Amino acid sequence: MCQKQPSKKVNKSKYLQKENNGLILFAHGSRNPAWRKPFDKLLKEVKKSKECHAILAFGEFMSPNLVDAAKMLAYKGVSKAVIVPLFLGGGLHVRGDLPKLAAQARAASGIKLRVAKAIGDDAGVLKAIADYSTAAARMRTISSRRKRV
């Protein structure tokens, strides 16, 4: 998640310095407040690991934005963090907007920031989505709270 998993020969304490490491989960954002619920759940799951300080940030419409999120981590003593783009594709927001926003966040916070690849570029994430999709296809009915249109 926040750090490369240590090998057996490596001092584990080097990788688990929560006070110095951060994670910014970066999502698009929406005008609809309910849209962020899955991201809040994801953040809660990440925080259970207690490996690093984690926070959500949004590109548009919601707060905190990336600059404010980085400043919040800096206030907590974080000196380096990784930004994980919660996007299935690496389109304009990931390849165009995010590098500029990350540079602004670096300058404003003083944190050493690294941008990870978009989650949709990860084979494990794609496998999980494929498994979910094929399981849904096997079901005769899919449970949903929404009415069919």
Q: Is 28 labeled as catalytic in the residue annotation?
A: yes
Domain boundaries, the chain: 17-122
pLDDT of amino acid 139: 82
Distance CA 45, CA 28 (A): 19
pTM of this prediction? 0.81
CATH number for domain 17-122, candidates 3.40.50.1400, 3.40.50.720, 3.90.480.20, 2.60.40.1170: 3.40.50.1400
**Helix H or strand E encompassing 82:** strand 80-85
Residue 124 burial by CB count (10 A; 0-12/13-18/19+): exposed, middle or buried? exposed
The catalytic residue among 16, 18, 28, 90 is: 28
What's the full length of the chain, in residues? 149
pLDDT along the chain (149 residues), means of 10: 48 51 97 97 96 96 98 97 93 84 97 95 96 86 55
Query: What does the pLDDT read at residue 141?
Result: 53
